[in-house]
């Protein structure tokens, strides 16, 4: 497992390098390097030998408590191993090829709004995904087999309950912000901000959260992500927009949340498959918690306001904390998911989730997707999609076979608020600490209740450990209702 | 072979990252990541399966010309494979462990000038090297088995002939520079030069040589090296000294020479074991050619002088090309190899070579090395070694088992001058081109006569291709004699 981990980290480094450091000429062989590492990892991990070693380790660890590191390692590894062996190598290769081809076709199809060129990409992915689903006949619904790769043990049925309630609760909030678009202005963030100063400012914001050059990096890229080569080597990436400050600040705080999760895993789990965040939804709960519950909160801007004014005396020297806080929280229904505000973001996800349900559990075909997409955007967000590039073609995910994945974002939003309510119960002075620039108690609470466990427990077990309860959208709706009320006025009931 | 190449490039990236980008906290698991990649590469390459594939490929390529890419691939791979299998896995593991331990002990022993602490490191390496030599009983002399890993097919006997002549020819030159230490001053280079400006200046110097951000990187590190992830993804590293300009310029030009070799390999050889420079000596011939034959020549400073004055108007605005050229060529017998000038550098190498001969072909023990070292430094360079840290402990190489390796540096010097004489015969206007900042004809000549071949031919075959003759120290001695005469006056005969 240590060897597999080492190879996976080498693959992660190839990926990080490609996104941050590689000169363009490196692209010609990088694809082959990725494919080889992935194949070698799969061969070594999914081998008969690994199975024998798991059996032997299970015998040795049988008397250990279930929540011990070693018993957990054997338990989780056996499930990983079983899943890895259920999918034929040829199908994996076909899927990898379709991802690469899909990406290239998507780039040109999106640029040309060419629905016809993109349809075969989707059709190919849907065919391959159905074969993949066929490898897991025990799934209650076909889509569950896809989702299980991201949130092991969770199902469409559970997501549906949460999302139906979320959709219902968000409807009046969307109306409230759409009715009053001028209530909040982000004009102060729309000035010229030199990238070097943005970088210094972003570092000044996340350093008290736990960023240090001893164990972290922060580099610019096109599509920000966080990657850890070990809990003491965490690589954040972000992007800066010279003429708008909010994007870079939000991206950096978001990735810092991911990074803190990776940095907080029990060091005893290093070089094992347990040494990373539990699931995508739980990971997103951390990025959204630090980006929004902390970074977009009024107390935080008591601390952050002076830092921004110090780094941008010309642009922001006379802008007060309140104005900055409001600017960071401007909301408006819009077309592009990655630019969406806190209220509308989850609705973008629900559109994708419901379409995937209709595809895999119903009869929706690739040809039906564009119109079905536009209808849902109209219904949930009240906006018309002017072209496919701003509609169903906007994300790279479906183009590269990423089905069963989107819900994790909205689940992360829901969980972030559940965790926050529990945190406030345990640490009532948290808002004052944040206003005073004191983040260690928050970070340590998260480490203690979530980060240190890594992948030892299932997502549902982990959700219970960190929230004390089950998945529940009510805290998130309470949080958003309060925020919308404060900034945009009380929603009509 | 493509897979092995991909894994090797991942290993190279781990190494490049460690030396340039990795936060210190990454060191804790990086060693394990290196070890795993090295083991996986060895297992895959040295397998029975690879042997069967080589046999099958040999049958398929039997009718191809020897110098075709495919016939060369099979021929070279068979030798690589045979060598890889001759050394037991356990011995390789012991050597790797001894290298890691040796490095740590060397750091503290060197800091404390602790001969006693360092002796067991050397003794362990010598024991392991003798076992390694035992795997290759066909070697004419024991040391040849070590040297073969760096210069396949070359022997101590050949090196001895070249080095004996070199030693004899260098003796009057060393006397000439030692007799006249004030003839050349490098005072203009010993000022404060901000590192950012040095970086811009170094890029301005190597860009006309072929550096471009499309296919190259240049990053600072402690011990400069060049690494290529493909011929279109070349990573140079360099180091800057805030209070001395020459070190950074020389290091950048030196690594650029290595990088041009890697960038010039036939693109058809990508993802094969032939896609890199032929040997360390030939690689060094390129780094030294660009660093010295080009970068330390008077014509080059007609081109480079204005670039330096532009980047450092305060420090160098009034310094003329002649003064810069002379400053870059200051010579003086000194203790530290990596700081040595062109005349004395090869003598540092000869000291190490002769000691290694006495160790592996004679009776010199680890305990004898310090005194034997000091005696040779006195004899060849006329200087006294004040402490081991400036003597036999100065380099990391022996501490990490690097025996049989040092001669490649001096062979590179010799070859660089042989290549240069041939070049001047083919391109008599070369000095004028260089003075005019025109480097493409030089680069293309080297690509055509050397770079494109990669590892297709043996070092001796490749030397013949690029020099038109055998290894011959006379051109290097002619070149140095002329340079010393111009700068320090005619040596006494």
Closest CB to A13 among B6, B17, B213: B17
Asked if pLDDT for residue B217 goes beyond 80, the answer is yes
Closest CB to A232 among B9, B25, B40: B25
Task: Report residue B278's pLDDT band, with 50, 70 and 90 as the boundaries.
Answer: very high
Parallel, antiparallel or unpaired: strands A233-238 and A226-230: antiparallel
State whether residue A192 is helix, strand or coil. Answer: coil
The single-letter DSSP state of residue B471 is -
Cα distances from B335 to residues A165, A478, B296, in angstroms, run 77, 73, 22
Question: Residues of chain A whose C-beta is under 8 A from some C-beta in B?
Answer: 2-3, 6-7, 9-11, 13-14, 17, 21-26, 28-30, 32-33, 35-37, 39-40, 44, 213-217, 229-230, 232-234, 270-271
Please list every residue in chain B whose beta carbon sits closer than 8 Å to the beta carbon of residue A32: 2, 6, 271
Backbone angles phi, psi at A396, to 5 degrees: -80, -15
A216-220: strand order across its sheet: A216-220, A233-238, A226-230
Angle, helices B342-360/B156-179, rounded to nearest 10 degrees: 140
The CA-to-CA distance between both ends of chain A, in Å, stands at 54
- Choosing from A94, A99, A196, A255, the catalytic residue is A255
Q: What is the pLDDT of residues B290-318, one digit of tens each?
A: 999 999 999 999 999 999 999 999 999 99
How many residues are listed for chain A in this entry?
493
Closest CB to B14 among A10, A22, A271: A10
State whether residue B199 is helix, strand or coil. Answer: helix
For position A70, what pLDDT does the model report? 97
Distance from C-alpha of B476 to C-alpha of A248, rounded to nearest angstrom: 56
Please list every residue in chain B whose beta carbon sits closer than 8 Å to the beta carbon of residue A24: 214-215
Cα distances from A443 to residues A206, A256, A299, A412, A425, in angstroms, run 12, 11, 16, 18, 16
Distance from C-alpha of B141 to C-alpha of B133, rounded to nearest angstrom: 9
Å between A445 CA and nearest CA of chain B: 23
> What is the pTM (predicted TM-score) of this model?
0.94
Parallel, antiparallel or unpaired: strands B216-220 and B226-230: unpaired
Distance from C-alpha of A257 to C-alpha of B256, rounded to nearest angstrom: 40
Reported as type and span, the H/E element at residue A216 is strand A216-220
Residues 6+ apart with CB under 8 A from A237: A16, A19, A20, A218, A219, A220, A221, A224, A225, A226, A227, A255
Q: Which residue, B92, B80, B83, B156, is CA-closest to B129?
A: B92
For position B28, what pLDDT does the model report? 86
For position B433, what pLDDT does the model report? 98
- The radius of gyration computed from the CA coordinates of chain B, to the nearest angstrom, equals 23
Please list every residue in chain A whose beta carbon sits closer than 8 Å to the beta carbon of residue B36: 2-3, 6-7
**With contact defined as beta carbons under 8 Å apart, do B184 and B329 qualify?**
yes
Is B255 catalytic? The answer is: yes
For position A492, what pLDDT does the model report? 85
For position A123, what pLDDT does the model report? 97
B233-238: strand order across its sheet: B216-220, B233-238, B226-230
Under-50 pLDDT residues of chain A? none
Q: What is the pLDDT of residues A121-162, one digit of tens each?
A: 999 999 999 999 999 999 999 999 999 999 999 999 999 999
Distance from C-alpha of A345 to C-alpha of A155, rounded to nearest angstrom: 21
For position A418, what pLDDT does the model report? 98
Closest CB to A26 among B21, B39, B230: B230
Backbone angles phi, psi at A217, to 5 degrees: -130, 155
Q: What is the pLDDT of residues B89-100, one digit of tens each?
A: 899 989 988 998
The single-letter DSSP state of residue A291 is I
- Choosing from B255, B284, B332, B354, the catalytic residue is B255
Please list every residue in chain A whose beta carbon sits closer than 8 Å to the beta carbon of residue B41: none
State whether residue B297 is helix, strand or coil. Answer: coil
Asked if pLDDT for residue B56 goes beyond 90, the answer is yes
Q: Is A411 exposed, middle or buried (0-12, 13-18, 19+ CB in 10 A)?
A: buried
Task: Report residue B242's pLDDT band, with 50, 70 and 90 as the boundaries.
Answer: very high
Put simply, the answer to whether A23 touches B213 (Cβ < 8 Å) is yes
Å between B41 CA and nearest CA of chain A: 10
CA nearest B32 in A: which residue? A6
How many residues are listed for chain B in this entry?
493
Element counts in chain B: helices (H) and strands (E)? 21, 3
């Amino acid at each position: 497992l240590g060897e597999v981990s080492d190879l996976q980290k080498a693959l992660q480094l190839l990926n990080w390098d490609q996104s941050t450091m590689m000169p363009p000429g490196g692209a010609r062989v990088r694809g082959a390097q990725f494919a080889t590492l992935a194949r070698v990892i799969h061969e070594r991990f999914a081998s008969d030998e690994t199975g024998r070693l798991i059996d032997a380790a299970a015998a040795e660890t049988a008397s250990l408590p279930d929540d011990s590191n070693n018993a957990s390692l054997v338990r989780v590894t056996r499930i990983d191993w079983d899943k890895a062996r259920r999918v034929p190598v040829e199908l994996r290769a076909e899927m990898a090829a379709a991802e690469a081809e899909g990406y290239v076709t998507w780039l040109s199809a999106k640029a040309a709004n060419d629905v016809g060129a993109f349809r075969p990409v989707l059709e190919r992915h849907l065919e391959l995904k159905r074969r993949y689903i066929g490898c897991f006949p025990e799934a209650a619904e076909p889509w569950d087999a896809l989702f299980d790769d991201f949130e092991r043990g969770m199902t469409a049925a559970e997501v549906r309950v949460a999302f139906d309630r979320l959709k219902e609760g968000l409807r009046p909030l969307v109306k409230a912000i759409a009715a009053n678009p001028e209530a909040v202005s982000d004009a102060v963030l729309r000035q010229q901000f030199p990238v070097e100063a943005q970088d210094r400012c972003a570092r000044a914001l996340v350093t008290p959260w736990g960023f240090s050059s001893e164990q972290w990096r922060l580099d610019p890229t096109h599509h920000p992500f966080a990657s850890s080569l070990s809990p003491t080597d965490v690589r954040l990436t972000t992007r800066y927009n010279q003429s708008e400050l909010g994007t870079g600040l939000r991206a950096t705080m978001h990735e810092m949340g991911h990074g803190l999760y990776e940095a907080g895993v029990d060091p005893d789990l290093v070089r094992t498959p347990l040494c990373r965040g539990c699931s995508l939804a739980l990971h997103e709960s951390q990025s959204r918690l630090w980006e929004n519950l902390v970074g977009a909160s009024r107390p935080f801007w008591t601390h952050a306001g002076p830092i921004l004014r110090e780094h941008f005396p010309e642009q922001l020297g006379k802008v007060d904390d309140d104005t900055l806080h409001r600017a960071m929280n401007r909301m408006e229904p819009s077309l592009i998911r990655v630019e969406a505000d806190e209220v509308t973001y989850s609705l973008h996800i629900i559109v994708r989730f419901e379409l995937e349900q209709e595809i895999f559990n119903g009869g929706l075909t690739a040809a039906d997707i564009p119109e079905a997409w536009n209808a849902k955007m109209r219904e949930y967000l009240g906006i018309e999609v002017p072209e496919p590039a701003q509609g169903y073609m906007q994300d790279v995910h479906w183009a590269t076979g990423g089905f069963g994945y989107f819900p994790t974002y909205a689940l992360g939003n829901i969980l972030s608020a559940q965790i926050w309510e529990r945190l406030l119960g345990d640490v009532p002075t948290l808002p004052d600490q944040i206003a005073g620039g004191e983040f260690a108690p928050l970070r340590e609470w998260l480490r203690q209740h979530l980060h240190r466990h890594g992948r030892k427990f299932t997502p549902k077990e982990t959700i219970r450990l960190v929230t004390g309860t089950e998945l529940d959208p009510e805290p998130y709706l309470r949080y958003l209702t309060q925020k919308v009320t404060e900034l945009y006025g009380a929603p009509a009931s």
